């Protein structure tokens, strides 16, 4: 149980109403209960605000409408404020500091302070783990791999040799970092393996979801820029360069040696061919196939991906084709009758 004052202090808000109001949980405006706190981030949800049973609501600092008896916490960004509030109500168990006796740690591994290394984790020769980091049960950290400070590796993650993981990184279960890229030379009907001797470099504050695969480079590194966030089930091929603060939704696949700029958004199931570049601040709509390089600031969609606005105009014409065909055939019939006449 928290008070509105405690929550407001945590999210740097300004209270309008009862600062001593007790809050027992969180919820959406639509299904908020007495004693809960919710948030209002967009004007289109104001219709739920009046009748919501939530006792407190996080709103924009510019909110000037009737509170309908609710206590308000005004902040710069209500969505961010609510996310920070959720931190206070997160009751999931955290691992205690220490090394479980079943963990298999090489004698020459370098371990920082305040680590949490769980059951059956494996840390191989010359690996380095920074202070306050966590290695989940059954995870594997390969030779000469470096993991920074305050980084969380969840259970059953595999990080191959010589990978570099920064500070404040989170990697969810099932993800594989540093497996060989898909590189082959075909000669006389035989596919010959190209050694993959590069690394994977993941910069600070990156989040990688569950069951992702990020391949090591052939001879240059595969890199993920700082503050970039990856959803689940994403494939990043060898030599791919991803910039900072990008957002990649589930089932994105990026082929080898492609460069992604900063602040790029790739929606769900986007496919990107190899050896192209996507400029800064591009947005690629879901299920699109990016077949060529894209200029910075573009919004593209479709297969193959093209300018979204132009594609919408093309779609309008496409939907009209059956009617246009019908009219053409009618005109052809009339023309033939005139010719016979």
Which CATH number do you get for residue 193? 2.160.10.10
Q: Are residues 289 and 323 both part of a single domain?
A: no
Q: What CA–CA distances, in Å, run from 141 to 117, 237, 313?
A: 11, 20, 51
Q: Are residues 188 and 80 both part of a single domain?
A: no
Q: What is the CATH number of the domain that holds 54?
A: 3.40.1390.10
Q: Are residues 63 and 162 both part of a single domain?
A: no
Domain boundary among 55, 88, 121: 88
Q: Are residues 47 and 127 both part of a single domain?
A: no
How far is residue 35's CA from residue 100's CA, in Å, rounded to a whole number? 40
Q: Which listed residue (203, 238, 275, 308) is catalytic?
A: 238
Q: Are residues 43 and 191 both part of a single domain?
A: no
Q: Are residues 128 and 109 both part of a single domain?
A: yes
Domain boundary among 88, 120, 146: 88
DSSP 275-312: S-EE-TT-EE-TT-EE-S-B-TT-EEETTTTEEHHHHH
Tell whether 93 is covered by a domain: no
Per-residue pLDDT of the chain (341 residues; tens, 9 = 90+): 999 999 999 999 999 999 999 999 999 999 889 999 999 999 899 999 999 999 999 999 999 999 999 999 999 999 999 999 999 999 887 778 999 999 999 999 999 999 999 999 999 999 999 999 999 999 999 999 999 999 999 999 999 999 999 999 999 999 999 999 999 999 999 999 999 999 999 999 999 999 999 999 999 999 999 999 999 999 999 999 999 999 999 999 999 999 999 999 999 999 999 999 999 999 999 999 999 999 999 999 999 999 998 888 888 888 999 999 999 999 999 898 888 86
Catalytic residue status for 238: yes
Q: How many domains does the chain have?
A: 3
Q: Are residues 152 and 276 both part of a single domain?
A: yes
Q: Are residues 254 and 106 both part of a single domain?
A: yes
Tell whether 234 is covered by a domain: yes
Q: Are residues 176 and 250 both part of a single domain?
A: yes
Long-range CB contacts (within 8 A, 24+) of 238-244: 238/180, 238/181, 238/182, 238/183, 238/196, 238/198, 239/181, 239/198, 243/280, 244/203
Tell whether 329 is covered by a domain: yes
Q: Are residues 121 and 57 both part of a single domain?
A: no
> CA 228, 230, 234: angle at the middle one, nearest 5?
140
State which residues form the domain around 102.
98-306
pTM: 0.90
Q: Are residues 120 and 247 both part of a single domain?
A: yes
Asked if residue 262 lies in contact with residue 225, where contact means CB atoms within 8 angstroms, the answer is yes
Domain boundary among 61, 88, 115: 88
Q: Are residues 64 and 130 both part of a single domain?
A: no
Q: What CA–CA distances, in Å, run from 283 to 8, 222, 229, 305?
A: 34, 22, 15, 11
């Amino acid at each position: 149980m928290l008070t509105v004052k405690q929550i407001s202090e945590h999210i740097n808000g300004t209270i309008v109403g009862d600062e001593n109001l007790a809050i027992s949980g969180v919820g959406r405006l639509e299904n908020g209960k007495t004693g809960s706190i919710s948030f209002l981030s967009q004007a289109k949800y104001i219709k739920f605000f009046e009748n919501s049973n939530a006792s407190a609501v996080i709103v924009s600092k510019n909110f000037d409408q009737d509170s309908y008896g609710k206590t308000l916490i005004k902040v710069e960004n209500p969505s961010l404020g609510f996310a920070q509030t959720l931190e206070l109500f997160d009751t999931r168990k955290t691992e205690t500091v220490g090394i479980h006796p079943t963990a298999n740690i090489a004698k020459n591994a370098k371990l920082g302070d305040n680590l949490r290394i769980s059951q059956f984790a494996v840390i191989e020769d010359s690996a380095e783990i920074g202070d306050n980091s966590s290695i989940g049960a059954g995870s594997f950290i390969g030779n000469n791999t470096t993991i920074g400070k305050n980084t969380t590796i969840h259970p059953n993650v595999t990080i191959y040799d010589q990978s570099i993981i920064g500070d404040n990184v989170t990697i969810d279960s099932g993800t594989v970092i540093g497996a060989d890229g898909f590189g082959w030379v075909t000669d006389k009907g035989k596919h010959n393996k190209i050694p993959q001797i590069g690394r994977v470099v993941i910069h600070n504050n990156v989040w990688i979801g569950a069951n992702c695969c990020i391949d090591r480079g052939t001879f240059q590194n595969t890199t993920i820029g700082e503050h970039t966030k990856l959803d689940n089930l994403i494939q990043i091929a060898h030599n791919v360069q991803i910039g900072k603060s990008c957002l990649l939704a589930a089932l994105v696949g990026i082929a080898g040696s492609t460069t992604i700029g900063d602040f790029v958004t790739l929606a769900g199931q986007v496919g990107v061919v190899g050896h192209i570049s996507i400029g800064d601040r591009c947005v690629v709509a879901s299920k699109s196939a990016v077949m060529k390089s894209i200029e910075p600031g573009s919004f593209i969609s479709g297969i193959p991906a093209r300018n979204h606005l132009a594609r919408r105009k093309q779609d309008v014409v496409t939907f009209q084709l059956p009617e246009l065909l019908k009219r053409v055939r009618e005109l052809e019939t009339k023309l033939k009758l005139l010719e016979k006449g």
